Structure 1
Amino acid sequence: MPRPSAREIVLDAYVDILIEHGPGSVTLDAVAAKAKVSKGGLLYHFGSKEALLEGLLDRVWRLSLADVEYARTAPEGPIRYYLSSSVTDASMDKPAHRASMAALRQVGSDDRVVEVIRDCSQLWRDLLAEHIADPLTAEMVGTLGDGLYLRATMGEETATLAGQLDEVLRRLGL
């Protein structure tokens, strides 16, 4: 696997700070220190905190697109993949999840954050609608996944429901 670029290392540091300490802890100096680059090195890739946010939102979009594309051909099928990736602890280390979590920490600070999160959610809703004939059932599955994701991000227990996905899908007629 190729070594991440300096730009990606800086973005990883920004994501880590947002997740671990929140947006109030983000300074260019803190990001440079976490990334183990000089402030000049950081500024070469991201000239401001605004540019860091733009880089993060671009990452969220790219990784979400890739995750939806993977879901289309996932061995367990797109619906099961969507629901299981919304609840499992394994998703907590996925780059797409970490980028989304970092972006969610920025909700309220910039309208573009909500716009990108909504657009990514729409990707998933569109995928579900492609694979679930009934529009209301597709919307319910999407809402279930959103709720499970929210619970998982807050550290709440989701293993019980995750262990019963077969029954959940049966009750939804899927």
Structure 2
Amino acid sequence: MRDRILDAVERMLIAGGADAVRLDAVAAEAGVSKGGLLHHFGSKRALVEGVLDRLVERFEAELPPPGSPPGAFTRAWLEATIPAADVPADDGFDRVSVALLAGVSGGPEVLDALRRRYELWQRRIAGDGLDPATATLVRLAVDGWWLARLLDLAPPHDDLHREVRARLSALIPEGE
């Protein structure tokens, strides 16, 4: 039931933003009673935190462990977040966008949790065996791309999408 509820919250965040996430609406979208919802999540903030935590876990599962070849973490960051082909941002849910939306809409505590996670990820990026400035440049470019996709701020499409992604990828030497 927990995953069904979080799936519903993700859909609602994508469709209507944080304002769409109301306990009654989430219960109806998930097909559960309000009491069942409250058993797992006592507040809107708990729902948003649950979405963010689950997405972070899924994202981290795609990242290589410490001690991987140089550039592996930075390359995985790019590959886990920017598709090789240009697809609509909501194609199968844009999980990165949902995480960003959840982080910024969940209030200061949720945003602080996302910030702490980013601090850890940035340390991994900077210590990935590449020039730290280049690795950070890739992370910042990818994060900007996410924001462009999330807010539909003229993200690159078609050939430009592929070319920009290829240039970012070229900044990351192949691991040994």
TM-score, structure 2 normalization: 0.73
Is the 2:72–2:128 Cα contact (8 Å) retained in structure 1? no
Give the structure 1 partner of residue 82 of structure 2. 87
> CA RMSD for the aligned pairs?
3.3
Residue among 27, 32, 44 paired with 1:32? 27
Answer yes or no: is 1:146 the counterpart of 2:143: yes
Distance 1:61 1:77, change over 3 A: closer
Q: Which has the higher contact order (CA 8 A, sep 6+)?
A: 2
Distance 1:94 1:123, change over 3 A: farther
Residue among 102, 116, 121 paired with 2:118? 121
What is the rounded CA distance, in whole Å, between the counterparts of 2:162 and 2:79 in structure 1?
6
Answer yes or no: is 1:61 the counterpart of 2:56: yes
Is the 1:84–1:162 Cα contact (8 Å) retained in structure 2? no
Higher helix content, 1 or 2: 1
What is the rounded CA distance, in whole Å, between the counterparts of 1:94 and 1:71 in structure 2?
29
What is the rounded CA distance, in whole Å, between the counterparts of 1:173 and 1:9 in structure 2?
38
- Mark the runs of 5 or more structure 1 residues left unpaired by the alignment: 1-5
Give the structure 2 partner of residue 3 of structure 1. none
Q: Which amino acid aligns with 2:31?
A: K
What is the rounded CA distance, in whole Å, between the counterparts of 2:149 and 2:117 in structure 1?
18
What is the rounded CA distance, in whole Å, between the counterparts of 1:82 and 1:72 in structure 2?
16
Counterparts of 1:47-58 in structure 2, within 5 Å, are 47-58=42-53
Give the structure 1 partner of residue 2 of structure 2. 7
Among the aligned pairs, what percent are the same residue?
Answer: 32
Q: Secondary structure of the residue that 2:38 maps to in structure 1?
A: helix
Q: Which amino acid aligns with 1:136?
A: A
Q: Secondary structure of the residue that 2:62 maps to in structure 1?
A: helix
What is the rounded CA distance, in whole Å, between the counterparts of 1:53 and 1:37 in structure 2?
17
Give 1:15 shift.
Answer: 1.9
Q: Which amino acid aligns with 1:158?
A: P
TM-score, structure 1 normalization: 0.74
Quick check: 138-147 or 88-97, which moved more? 88-97
What is the rounded CA distance, in whole Å, between the counterparts of 1:129 and 1:95 in structure 2?
26
Aligned residues: 165
